[in-house]
Chain A
């Protein structure tokens, strides 16, 4: 029936026309709406869609000593990256041959820095020139493998003050999750200060990242630069002047290299830290470059604990260096006459316990002055009984014990100041007696302090209570360490006693006297018993030549007698410092005259 007639009323044709026309009208109107009326809106979105901002790392600021000598610098190193969508096993073995790094390490790095299929992931770093040229030779086999520069921390001064300087860490994916509330400021591959000054002053040192704009597709693949938009150059981090005196630091590191212990030199008048040695130390370079697991393990497992920052995180009994607390409490409370004599027979019974003096024969008749200078124990066992526990603890607290000093390092311990509450908890209220206070007067017992606390303590004595919080940042206005108001007479007396300790023939600290004319040296030795081995040798003191004043806290772990071991080192330090400063003055004069 091919020939059936096609009889269609005209009305149907009209309906068909109307239908077709309305369909096309709808479409044209829709396109006009999007392309003409909403053009601006979509144009804006298209621009955002296609442009990606890639951050450019800003070089970190340098860390300098107080005279502008460089402690930490940046050094350009070459890193090797690979595009995940192009790299294959063969590439890894070629790179392994060139760099001598095991493929498993390369692959591990690759996974660690992986951010996406089209983003280059780092394989290795610190490429030498030979390694680079080897890679370049095999370039045709290494599609998607590329190298670029990365500024890395370097340490031209060769000091070992890792505890102060700290280190930077490169952020990988797991680390990024652990950065507190600053996650949007950092990206995988960025450096972040992880310890020490690097962490403390991260905001100053890190600088502001730049931005490089590039065209990208929806997969994040780069497709050339963007016309009309300039890249933003990174702002390098600011250089940070520290209070460290590089020469002094190096000298102190040399002195301390034989010992386990602490040498901390500060300026009591400003709180500036001139030298900060926690020995044994280690080179900060361990954190740059490819540290092997072996190296790292040997550091962690070293029984000498080089990773411990002894100055802020080491807890020690302060020993006899603590006796000034008792002395001050007595003087301030008018509980002792300056000329009052207490007899030391070398042994003292309190309750059913026997307390001994370090001098077995006894010191004989002692004034407070002599008791400090000769570090008599019996005198203080007896004298401290005149003071209430609360008064004693409060005074300790006023000198900063039991609290953080506020030094500008990320970690610091509070030490242990055994208050009444503490003792009740530890021993129950019946389990302890005033006998414990006798121990505390000598800086023993439960009491534990950090060397930095002792520094604040001696600085307060040196400045009659008006010292500043110890710090490393040279240009920051110093913070006044919690003030302590004592009678001027008390301060003068204590300073006298400390002067005698170093200058009297009978004094325990005579070895600390550098015998430089015009330089007055004050100090106190300590020989702290500790349950873990031989006594710790302490010296705390200060010296001034009328212009400059420095204080020192010296600890030799298990070193024995403070007077015999620690005091001579302090003497050397004073000698070096005051000779050096007079040399510098001469040098400056020469410079000025030219």
Chain B
């Protein structure tokens, strides 16, 4: 009986879910090794050895989550949600590290970043809320509370300030709502204001957006009165956007600005984008070879071991490795979506969709930032970037995927 259970669970064990992250971790390790060997023979602590050490808590966290019964997670997630709200607030009471309130010093050589864990805790909490209540997903008002669940920690983290992580917290909300059956038009209403603001600074874009919004409204045929209010509300918001713009922090303004005109600030955020593009572009198809990346090793690249690790890989291992890496990511995320689709429980399916979204948005933001598609956001690449809290968080999410993906053991 016991043996049969183990056999069954092994048979159902989605092996690729664990295999693909290992491949990605390996790519990351090679890249970190390449950076580290050139730090002039210093044997002590390099990004590579640090990352090797970080694998220990990551594996422990992975196994820990794997062996916690699913129902316990389901039962105590609100408690954990409360706990994480406290934890992301604690850094504000402590002294700043690197000028921000992101980290908590836990007496180890490395600091602990609670906002990393907020990502999956928010997903699981949302999944619980959306699956436990028999919600009328077709009603717009139903959407308000789930959004609030994500918005609360995001608002706190935004103050740390950590715009990247705050945005990542919000990304799973829409896919999860869609997954449980919200009307796409309602979700469109949620993101419409963002576009209204985004296009507000450019007359042609704003006009185009106003036309698109009109067409979608016409096709969706909402209540006439509501439609008019929604439409002109958005237009008004767009007109108000310049005022909101002034409310942004200067570094955020700068980041957004430099996306549109990278030459504005050659040594600031755009400097990083330009250097990163030069590194990636000069790698070509096959790359320059391990340890041969001149841009990497001559330190033209900032934070190359975490946020700009893609530049190192692109320069030294070339397009072929980048493409391989992206395909591995794609397979991994498709696999998670598949598991979500075939999952028998709504809770598990929602957790999977949420985690899939988090991985996807990390990959997209990181790669798009490194190639200058979007402004520089301090977001690491899952499994590959150096960083203890993030690696632990990633492997916890892998454990959650395994947990939710495997058929329930009854």
Contact = CB atoms under 8 A, between A and B. Distances in A.
Interface of A: 1-8, 12-13, 15-17, 20-21, 23-24, 26-28, 30-32, 34-36, 38-39, 41-43, 45-47, 49-50, 215-219, 221, 223
A38 B71 CA distance: 52
Interface in B300-359: 300, 314, 318-319, 322-323, 326-327, 329-330, 333-334, 337-338, 340-341, 343-349, 353
A49 B284 contact: no
A399 to B, nearest CB: 62
B114 interface: no
B300 A49 contact: yes
A-B residue pairs, 4 tightest by C-beta: A42-B281, A46-B282, A217-B298, A217-B299
Given A13-B337, A35-B319, A46-B294, A4 B285 contact: no
Given A24-B330, A42-B282, A2 B345 contact: yes
Contacts of A219: 299
B341 A13 contact: yes
Contacts of A4: 131-132, 345-347
Contacts of A6: 340, 343-346, 348-349
A45 B275 CA distance: 9
Contacts of A20: 330, 333-334, 337, 360
Contacts of B341: 8, 13, 16
Nearest to A216: B298
Given A39-B284, A218-B298, 19 more contacts: A2-B347, A5-B346, A6-B345, A8-B179, A27-B364, A31-B280, A31-B314, A31-B367, A35-B280, A35-B314, A35-B318, A35-B322, A36-B284, A38-B281, A42-B282, A43-B281, A46-B282, A218-B275, A223-B297
B180 to A, nearest CB: 8
A353 to B, nearest CB: 78
Given A16-B337, A31-B326, A38-B281, A3 B345 contact: yes
B322 A31 contact: yes
Contacts of B346: 4-7
14 contacts: A2-B74, A4-B347, A8-B349, A20-B330, A28-B323, A30-B367, A31-B314, A35-B284, A35-B319, A36-B284, A38-B281, A39-B284, A42-B282, A45-B281
A267 B252 CA distance: 77
Contacts of B337: 13, 16-17, 20
Contact of A31 (B330, B348, B371): B371
Contacts of B74: 2
A50 B288 CA distance: 14
A560 B294 CA distance: 77
A2 B345 CA distance: 7
B405 interface: no
B326 A12 contact: no
Interface in B198-250: none
Interface string B351-384: 0010000001001100110010100000000000
Given A17-B334, A35-B314, A41 B345 contact: no
Contact of B279 (A7, A15, A38, A46): A46
A27 B368 contact: yes
- Interface of chain B: mostly helix, strand, loop or mixed: helix
Contacts of B284: 35-36, 39, 43
A78 B330 CA distance: 63
Name which of B179, B298, B360, B371 has the most chain A CB atoms within 10 A of its CB. Answer: B298
Contacts of A216: 298
Given A17-B334, A31-B322, A45 B349 contact: no
A47 B319 CA distance: 19
B193 to A, nearest CB: 21
Nearest to B318: A35
A36 to B, nearest CB: 6
A24 B326 contact: yes
Contacts of A8: 179, 340-341, 349
Contacts of B178: 12, 15
Given A12-B179, A215-B298, A35 B373 contact: no
A114 to B, nearest CB: 21
A30 B371 contact: yes
A221 B40 CA distance: 13
B295 interface: yes
A1 B298 CA distance: 56
Given A6-B344, A23-B360, A46-B295, A34 B281 contact: yes
Contact of A35 (B283, B343, B349): B283
Contact of B294 (A1, A30, A49): A49
Contact of B323 (A31, A41, A50, A221): A31
Contacts of A1: 131-133, 347
Nearest to B180: A8
Nearest to A3: B345
A216 B280 CA distance: 19
A215 B178 CA distance: 53
Name which of B282, B348, B364 has the most chain A CB atoms within 10 A of its CB. Answer: B282
A427 B199 CA distance: 80
Contacts of A38: 281
B281 A41 contact: yes
Nearest to B74: A2
B277 interface: yes
A32 B345 CA distance: 40
Nearest to B283: A35
Nearest to A37: B281
Contacts of A217: 297-300
Contacts of A36: 284-285, 319
B310 to A, nearest CB: 9
Contacts of A5: 344-346
B364 A23 contact: yes
B290 interface: no
Nearest to A9: B181
Contacts of A3: 345
A209 to B, nearest CB: 24
B70 interface: yes
Contact of B298 (A7, A12, A24, A50): A50
A72 to B, nearest CB: 42
Contacts of A27: 326, 363-364, 367-368, 371
Nearest to B298: A217
A39 B277 CA distance: 10
B125 to A, nearest CB: 14
Contacts of A41: 281
Name which of A1, A13, A16 has the most chain B CB atoms within 10 A of its CB. Answer: A16
Contacts of A39: 281-282, 284-285
B278 interface: yes
A20 B322 CA distance: 17
B338 to A, nearest CB: 8
A7 B343 CA distance: 9
Nearest to A24: B330
Contacts of B349: 6, 8
B347 A34 contact: no
Given A17-B334, A23-B360, A24-B326, A35 B299 contact: no
A13 B343 CA distance: 12
A30 B295 contact: no
Contacts of B344: 5-6
Nearest to B282: A46
A4 B179 CA distance: 14
Contacts of B343: 6
Contact of A218 (B132, B300, B329, B363): B300
A47 B284 CA distance: 14
Interface in B35-70: 70
